Amino acid sequence: MANTKSAEKAARQAMVHRERNVALRSRMRSAIRKVVDAAAAGKKDEARTHYLAAVPLIDTLVNKKIIHRNQADRHKSRLAARIKKIA
């Protein structure tokens, strides 16, 4: 329980930020899943389209400091490798 008005406000802000971060992280995971599913199905063009949509989303989370830039680079690299591997 917060003891001061500023601590109460900080707690409210933390709740709002957390909800927003959870939603953004979920959107990123969904975008990644779309690429992975398309790649698994062997649909290279569809996977590339989803990849091009996922990259800005991932970069946005880095800019907002929700995920680390190395994690974002790792996601992008692995997705690109999956797409490249499709025959």
pLDDT in tens, 23-59: 999 999 999 999 999 999 999 999 999 999 999 999 9
User: Residue 16: is its pLDDT beyond 90?
Assistant: yes
Other residues' Cβ atoms within 10 Å of the Cβ of residue 48: 18
Residues 34 and 62 sit within 8 Å (Cβ to Cβ): no
* pLDDT at residue 6 in the model: 96
Residue 75 has pLDDT above 90, yes or no: yes
The model's pTM is: 0.87
- What CATH number does the domain containing 22 carry? 1.20.58.110
Domain of 81, in residue numbers: 5-85
* Confidence (pLDDT) at 1: 77
Cβ-based neighbour number of residue 70 at 10 Å: 9
pLDDT of residue 2: 84
Query: How many C-beta atoms surround the C-beta of residue 33 within 10 A?
Result: 12
Number of domains forming the structure of the chain: 1
